[in-house]
Amino acid sequence: MGKEEIAFFDAKPYDKEWFDKFNTEYEIRYYDGRLRPANAKLAEGCRAVCAFVNDVVNEKTIDILSKLNVEVILMRCAGYNNVALEEAKKRGIKVLRVPAYSPYAVAEHTMGLILALNRKIPRAYIRTRDFNFSLNGLTGFDLHGKTAGVIGTGKIGRVFIDICRGFGMEVLAFDPKPADIDGVKYVSKEELFKNSDIISLHCPLTKETHYIINEEALKLVKKNVLIVNTSRGSLIDTEALLSALNEKRIGGAALDVYEEESGLFFEDNSDKIVTDEVLSLLVSRPNVIITSHQAFLTEEALSNIAQVTLKNFEDYLLGRELENEVRL
């Protein structure tokens, strides 16, 4: 009997490196393109597909996968808002994920973005490449003594809180399910918006958190607040954010995710004309830093993603308890 096969979509070199390192049991078919209805038929003959955050795992995709007798969708990420879960359940397809690959990776990248934005490090770097050593326009502020507003206090949020406290910052938090964290004050969203010098998003994308940073929220914040998002793009109403930046109602923004990133992020678009006007305007702002959904990208995280994804499939095949199954 041959090896069980996995159709692996949106495969990047770093994915292949780490999955090949730990895979000894399965035949993995790597495909460059994102999973979507147009190419879902490539999974024919596979019991599982492996998908990522920007794959289009909608009702139509799942319908095609079901007709191909695919039994498992292996999400090699924590998020699953791009998966039509009700349709998957109706079709009897299991959805498994990697709930926590490295909270340190994302939390550390978040603080890196804050430091780069606040202290204008990218601008300073570009200047010195031209032997321009002027300090004009590079003034930042001390993080020590400032207030960080953390929305979402799961594993990543808690690690980020620890980092903030290491910098001597006060922490306000908002989460519908508060955790018992020493020295952290839980407040309403409105109070957090009003009193934070930095607002950092570490919550999943749900109906309740969609556009949690919107026009109303941006009317409440401090004038020089920095807004940071390393979670999901649609937590922020990007047009409202752009308006606040243009009107100088906030100090700046650092984004590792973007609500319309699908088809752009994870790809080299340097030789193309990018027609997303909102993204183009954000990139042009001197008080905005955008990275390409790379907060998770550490060796430790990639190792954990590969190992947990492969174990999820093994658990399914051997009839074990599916501890990482996404359930409605």
User: What is the spatial distance between Cα 87 and Cα 70, in angstroms, rounded to a whole number?
Assistant: 13
Q: Which residues contact 15 (CB under 8 A, 6 or more apart)?
A: 8, 30, 76, 302, 306
Q: Choose which CATH entry (3.40.50.720, 1.10.443.10, 3.90.1170.50, 3.30.70.3040) describes domain 103-290.
A: 3.40.50.720
The fourth-level CATH superfamily of domain 5-101+299-317 is: NAD(P)-binding Rossmann-like Domain (3.40.50.720)
- C-alpha distances out from residue 26 to 65, 218, 269, Å: 19, 49, 33
Reduced to 3 states (helix: H, G, I; strand: E, B; else coil), residue 321 is: coil
| Residue 202 designated active-site | no
| Residue 293 designated active-site | yes
Which member of 36, 202, 232, 259 is catalytic? 232
Specify the residue for token string 């002027």.
134
Q: Is the predicted pLDDT of residue 87 greater than 80, yes or no?
A: yes
Which member of 293, 299, 320, 327 is catalytic? 293
* DSSP element (H, E) containing 150: strand 147-151
Bridge partners, 57 (sequence order) = 83
For 128: left if phi > 0, alpha if psi spans -120 to 50, otherwise beta; the answer is alpha
Q: Is the predicted pLDDT of residue 79 greater than 60, yes or no?
A: yes
Q: Is 37 exposed, middle or buried (0-12, 13-18, 19+ CB in 10 A)?
A: middle
Number of H helices, E strands in the chain: 11, 12
Domain boundaries, the chain: 5-101+299-317, 103-290
User: What is the spatial distance between Cα 58 and Cα 64, in angstroms, rounded to a whole number?
Assistant: 10
Tens-place pLDDT, residues 185-235: 999 999 999 999 999 999 999 999 999 999 999 999 999 999 999 999 999
pLDDT bin (cut points 50, 70, 90) of residue 42 is very high
Average pLDDT over residues 51-68: 96
Range from 63-72, 263-272, 279-288 carrying the lowest mean pLDDT: 263-272
| Residue 36 designated active-site | no
Identical fold for domains 5-101+299-317 and 103-290, yes or no, is yes
pLDDT bin (cut points 50, 70, 90) of residue 100 is confident
What is the spatial order of strands in the sheet that 147-151 belongs to? 185-186, 170-174, 147-151, 198-201, 226-229, 252-255, 288-290
